[in-house]
């Protein structure tokens, strides 16, 4: 295992007993470096979300090991990992401020520190004006920002995002992508992003892993080579087109396979 | 699908077990046979009552009252519901009232109705209508609300007559909400009428139960009780299945 | 609700909250006015019907009010009222607690819930009055019978609502609690209970009305004390103002309690429906 690795998956396999028994994922090998922005793209049903569950410690691999900062995960969520889910996980009975501060309730930090962190996160995600509103009054994009802010206050060292922008329109997605990059740079955390949008992966990441159809395995790893201070305007860079093209050519057959199986 | 069938089987098993438990408790005397008679005797009494024809008048009276109340409630409820729907201000006011309506025990008006209309069918029908109509209103309102405005635009694009708009667009789009209202209406009408007959009446199945109770005629009482309960469960069950079919057809199409 | 894309500074649009608040206030004022008008119309209708029937069944509103005032000053009335209150309080408490426990259990254990729910729903549609003789045979005439009536009416809706609340919990909330490494107790207290609360409050509201109904009918059928008895007795003695007054008291209590619980429920629900619901 590389000393620089923050996250290490080794021969990870995930099987579900069913009926019917299905191998959802693997074998998967992956190393994520500290501070890296890594995206995973793959066809529907390939096990991307299962992978995220395994990395977060929300599930255990059937075989193989998952190590975060050298420690093997045994089915609990380790300290230092933040998760943003695909579905809206904002709590409708709490205000934005209360939602964002929710994760710090168990931290034992003094009230002032909590309030400071919450304020900083709210301002960082552009929610200051809505701090005392409730999620039902906000749009889908804003609610996701609340969830991201909630993760932010925990100062995670690895941020996991499962198709966080799936429900948003294209333009909002591009801007949220910029937000995510800003977040990544400011916190210095590593980011593992799961997305079905090839352009999003190509534009945001240092490295993109392409997954096969179920059971998901990595069939390609693409280094983007973008500078650290990038934003959504890389779409106009010449390399962007060829990156996306390469991702799609790796992915296309797998997607057809997945569709054939589903239909 | 397998899971649903498994649940059904277990459910029947649970109910059967309860009945058997009751039967055994009654037969062995754990439960005083003067209070509760064994289920097998209840069934025998029920069959005897129906078979002997003694119950026919009561059955006719009760069922006709329920049916009348049900039909009136539907007519009244749909009409009022549609009317309210057209007048938005009325809608806003009616909303909280409808929400509070079922918190009032409508039954308390029954003695008033008897004083007003005498001790016959009339107060029972009115009670049934009072109980059932708001459910139909609510169902109609929510059904009409559920007709997406874009469908009305579609009707105009196709230049449909009002009658056709109603039959081809409004009606199919509004279902199954009104149907849920109808199902509840039958349930409430049945409960209202039987309760009324039970407490203060001279005819009907509810009265038959009450009379048997006061005459210390447990077998008859339980027999009629069982009959009423079975009718209620079956009637509601049938409507429930229809409602499910309606809903499923829509979600698939 | 529009999105807030736009300038990269993400300050959002120009204070939408103020605009919608203003619109909400006018709507509320209008609705309050309309409601008062409707109440007056109903009172007028009441008056007309009562006069039209020569006070044989209901006495007119004003007369009822006056009679009620004097009635509320007699200790006899309050004896009856307290009897009803005691029976109801016990019935409601039992329905609520048992219903909550049962609903939580059945909601959590999928299969048990699937098996039992139709049975409960079926029980809901039965005319439970027909079971009263059995209750009386088992419990005799008295408080316990009345409480039991209340419970057989109030238990099932509470259970069904709680069951639904637990079953409809968005799984993402539980995953969020795990991702934040909350202990099971904290997960229940901080996530599950608040998420289920609106439906549980609705269940309490319905259970309240139905337990009340059950106790009242029990009193009308088989008691010598309580508001239900007072009502039937008033009818039997042809004391129309009394029965009308009792009906009024019951209606007011029922509507007041229901409205209160609706408000409480809305406060705990998905806060922020634009016009205040």
pLDDT, tens digit, 9 for 90 and up, residues C108-147: 888 888 899 989 988 988 999 889 988 988 888 888 999 9
C1 — pLDDT class (breaks 50, 70, 90): very low
- Structure tokens that stand for A71 in this block: 């420690």
C209 with B116: Cβ contact below 8 A: no
Question: Which pLDDT score is estimated for C275?
Answer: 33
pLDDT tens column, C176-215: 999 999 998 888 889 988 899 988 999 999 999 999 999 9
Length in residues, chain B: 253
Question: Contact at 8 Å (CB) between B200 and B114?
Answer: yes
pLDDT tens column, C209-246: 999 999 998 898 888 889 999 988 888 888 888 989 99
Give the Cα separation of A151 and A140 in Å (integer).
17
Q: Is residue B3 assigned to a domain?
A: no
C272 with A134: Cβ contact below 8 A: yes
CATH of the domain at B172: 1.10.3720.10
Is residue C7 predicted with pLDDT exceeding 70? no
Fold of A5-80+156-262: Rossmann fold (3.40.50)
Angle at C22 between CA C17 and CA C24, to 5 degrees: 90
Is residue C12 predicted with pLDDT exceeding 80? no
Chain A: partners with 3+ C-beta pairs within 8 Å = C
C20 — pLDDT class (breaks 50, 70, 90): low
- Structure tokens that stand for B134 in this block: 């708001």
Question: Which pLDDT score is estimated for C93?
Answer: 97
Is residue C273 predicted with pLDDT exceeding 80? no
Average pLDDT, chain A: 88
Is residue C158 predicted with pLDDT exceeding 90? yes
Question: Which pLDDT score is estimated for A41?
Answer: 93
pLDDT tens column, A51-87: 998 998 888 899 999 999 988 888 778 888 999 988 8
Partners of A129 on chain C (C-beta within 8 Å) are: 11-12, 15
> Which candidate from C2, C8, C271 shows the least CB-CB separation from A134?
C271
Question: Which pLDDT score is estimated for A146?
Answer: 94
C271 — pLDDT class (breaks 50, 70, 90): low
Partners of B102 on chain C (C-beta within 8 Å) are: 209
- C187 CA to chain A: closest CA distance, Å? 11
Question: Which pLDDT score is estimated for C157?
Answer: 93
Question: Which pLDDT score is estimated for A170?
Answer: 84
C38 — pLDDT class (breaks 50, 70, 90): confident
Chain B: partners with 3+ C-beta pairs within 8 Å = C
HEC string of chain C equals: CCCCCCCCCCCCCCCHHHHHHHHHHHHHHHHHHHHHHHHHHHHHHHHHHHHHCCCCCCCCHHHHHHHHHHHCCCHHHHHHHHHHHHHHHHHHHHHHHHHHHHHHHHHHCHHHHHHHHHHHHHHHCCCHHHHHHHHHHHHCCCHHHHHHHHHHHHHHHHHHHHHHHHHCCCHHHHHHHHHCCCCHHHHHHHHHHHHHHHHHHHHHHHHHHHHHHHHHHHHHHHCCCCHHHHHHHHHHCCCHHHHHHHHHHHHHHHHHHHHHHHHHHHHHCCCCCCCCC
Least reliable range by pLDDT among A148-152, C94-98, C222-226: C222-226
Q: Is residue B184 assigned to a domain?
A: yes
Question: Which pLDDT score is estimated for C4?
Answer: 39
Question: Which pLDDT score is estimated for A165?
Answer: 87
Is residue C9 predicted with pLDDT exceeding 60? no
Domain that holds residue B143: 37-252
Q: Which residue from A51, A26, A50 is spatially nearest to A38, judged by alpha carbons?
A: A51
- Chain B residue closest to C135 (CA)? B35
C37 — pLDDT class (breaks 50, 70, 90): confident
For residues C80-102, give the mean pLDDT.
Answer: 94
Question: Contact at 8 Å (CB) between B173 and B151?
Answer: yes
- Chain C residue closest to A162 (CA)? C172
Question: Which pLDDT score is estimated for C99?
Answer: 94
Question: Which pLDDT score is estimated for B243?
Answer: 84
Question: Which pLDDT score is estimated for A192?
Answer: 95
Q: Is residue B53 assigned to a domain?
A: yes
pLDDT tens column, A104-121: 888 888 999 999 999 999
For residues C46-65, give the mean pLDDT.
Answer: 85
C272 with A137: Cβ contact below 8 A: yes
Question: Which pLDDT score is estimated for C10?
Answer: 37
Ranges of chain B whose pLDDT falls below 50:
253
Is A105 an 8 Å CB contact of chain C? yes
Give the Cα separation of A212 and A26 in Å (integer).
10
A261 — pLDDT class (breaks 50, 70, 90): low
Question: Which pLDDT score is estimated for C21?
Answer: 64
- Chain C residue closest to A150 (CA)? C180
Longest dimension (CA), chain C: 79
In chain C the domains, ranked by start, together with CATH numbers, are 64-171+197-268 (1.10.3720.10)
Give the Cα separation of B220 and B233 in Å (integer).
20
Q: Is residue B17 assigned to a domain?
A: no
CB atoms within 10 A of CB C105: 16
C4 with A142: Cβ contact below 8 A: yes
Question: What does chain A look like in DSSP terms, one character per residue?
Answer: --TTEEEEEEEEEEEE--SSPEEEEEEEEEEEETT-EEEEE--TTSSHHHHHHHHHTSS--SEEEEEETTEEP-SSPPTTEEEE-SS----TTS-HHHHHGGGGTTS---HHHHHHHHHHHHHHTT-GGGTTS-GGGS-HHHHHHHHHHHHHTT--SEEEEESTTTTS-HHHHHHHHHHHHHHHHHH--EEEEE-S-HHHHHHH-SEEEEEPSSSB-EEEEEE----TT--GGGGGSHHHHHHHHHHHHHHHHHHHHHHHHH-
- C170 CA to chain A: closest CA distance, Å? 8
- Chain C residue closest to B200 (CA)? C221
- Give the residue extent of every domain in chain A: 5-80+156-262, 91-155
For residues C254-263, give the mean pLDDT.
Answer: 90
Q: How many domains, in total, are found in chain B?
A: 1
Is residue A169 predicted with pLDDT exceeding 90? no
Is residue C24 predicted with pLDDT exceeding 80? no
Report which listed range, A151-165, B108-122, C24-38, is most confident: A151-165
Question: Which pLDDT score is estimated for A45?
Answer: 78
DSSP B167: I
């Amino acid at each position: 295992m590389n000393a620089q690795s923050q996250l290490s998956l080794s021969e990870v396999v995930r099987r579900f007993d069913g009926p019917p028994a299905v191998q959802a994922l693997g074998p998967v090998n992956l190393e994520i470096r500290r501070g890296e922005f890594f995206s995973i793209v793959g066809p529907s049903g390939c096990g991307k979300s299962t992978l995220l569950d395994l990395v977060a410690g929300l599930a255990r691999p059937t075989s193989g090991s998952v190590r975060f900062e050298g420690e093997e995960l045994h089915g609990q969520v380790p300290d230092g990992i933040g998760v943003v889910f695909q579905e809206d996980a904002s709590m409708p009975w709490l205000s934005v401020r209360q939602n964002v501060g929710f994760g710090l309730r168990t931290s034992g930090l003094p009230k002032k520190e909590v309030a400071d962190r919450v304020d900083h996160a709210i301002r960082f995600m552009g929610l200051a004006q809505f701090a005392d509103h409730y999620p039902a009054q906000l749009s889908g994009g804003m609610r996701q920002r609340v969830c991201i802010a909630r993760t932010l206050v925990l100062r995670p060292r690895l941020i996991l995002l499962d198709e966080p922008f799936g429900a948003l329109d294209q333009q909002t997605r591009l801007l949220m992508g910029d937000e995510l990059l800003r977040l990544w740079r400011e916190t210095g955390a590593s980011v593992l992003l799961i997305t079905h949008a090839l352009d999003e992966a190509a534009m945001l990441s240092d490295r993109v892993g392409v997954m096969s159809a179920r059971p998901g395995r990595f069939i390609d790893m693409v280094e983007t080579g973008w500078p650290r201070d990038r934003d959504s305007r890389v779409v106009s860079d010449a390399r962007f087109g060829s990156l996306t093209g390469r991702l799609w050519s790796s992915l296309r057959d797998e997607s057809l396979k997945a569709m054939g199986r589903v239909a | 699908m397998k899971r649903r069938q498994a649940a059904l089987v277990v459910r029947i098993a649970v109910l059967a077990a309860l009945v058997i438990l009751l039967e055994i408790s009654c037969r062995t005397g754990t439960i005083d046979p003067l209070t509760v008679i064994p289920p097998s005797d209840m069934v025998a009494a029920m069959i005897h009552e129906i078979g002997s024809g003694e119950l026919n008048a009561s059955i006719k009276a009760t069922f006709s009252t329920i049916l009348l109340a049900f039909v009136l409630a539907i007519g009244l409820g749909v009409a009022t519901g549609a009317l309210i729907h057209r007048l938005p201000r009325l809608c806003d006011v009616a909303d909280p009232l409808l929400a509070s309506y079922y918190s009032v025990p409508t039954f308390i008006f029954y003695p008033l109705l008897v004083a007003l209309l005498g001790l016959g069918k009339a107060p029972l029908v009115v009670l049934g209508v009072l109980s059932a109509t708001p459910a139909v209103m609510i169902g109609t309102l929510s059904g009409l609300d559920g007709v997406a405005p874009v469908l009305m635009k579609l009707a105009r694009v196709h230049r449909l007559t009002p009658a056709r708009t109603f039959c081809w667009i409004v009606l199919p789009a509004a279902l199954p909400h009104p149907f849920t209202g109808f199902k509840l209406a039958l349930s409430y009408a049945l409960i209202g009428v039987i309760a009324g007959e039970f407490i203060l009446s001279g005819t009907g199945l509810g009265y038959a139960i009450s009379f048997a109770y006061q005459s210390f005629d447990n077998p008859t009482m339980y027999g009629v009780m069982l009959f009423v309960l079975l009718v209620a469960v079956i009637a509601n069950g049938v409507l429930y299945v229809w409602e499910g079919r309606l809903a499923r057809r829509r979600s698939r199409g | 609700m529009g999105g807030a894309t736009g300038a990269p500074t993400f300050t959002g649009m120009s204070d939408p909250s103020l605009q919608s608040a203003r619109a909400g206030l006018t709507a509320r004022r209008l609705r309050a006015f309309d409601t008062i008008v409707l109440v007056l119309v109903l009172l007028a209708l009441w008056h007309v019907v009562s006069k039209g029937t020569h006070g044989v069944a209901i006495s007119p509103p004003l007369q009822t009010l006056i009679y009620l005032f004097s009635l509320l000053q007699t200790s006899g009335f309050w004896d009856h009222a307290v009897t009803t209150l005691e029976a109801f309080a016990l019935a409601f408490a039992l329905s609520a607690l048992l219903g909550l426990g049962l609903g939580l259990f059945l909601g959590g254990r999928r299969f048990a819930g699937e098996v039992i729910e139709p049975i409960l729903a079926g029980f809901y549609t039965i005319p439970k009055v027909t079971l009263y003789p059995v209750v009386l045979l088992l419990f005799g005439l008295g408080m316990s019978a009345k409480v039991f009536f209340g419970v057989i009416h109030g238990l099932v809706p509470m259970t069904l609502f709680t069951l639904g609340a637990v079953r409809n919990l968005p799984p993402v909330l539980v995953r969020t609690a795990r991702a934040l490494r909350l202990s099971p107790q904290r997960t229940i207290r901080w996530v599950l209970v608040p998420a289920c609360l609106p439906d549980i409050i609705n269940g309490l509201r319905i259970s309240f009305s139905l337990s009340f109904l059950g106790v009242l009918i029990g009193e009308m059928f088989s008691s010598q004390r309580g508001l239900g008895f007072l009502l039937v007795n008033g009818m039997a003695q042809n004391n129309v103002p009394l029965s009308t007054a009792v009906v009024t008291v019951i209606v007011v209590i029922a509507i007041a309690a229901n409205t209160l619980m609706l408000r409480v429920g809305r406060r705990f629900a998905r806060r922020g429906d634009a016009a205040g619901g």
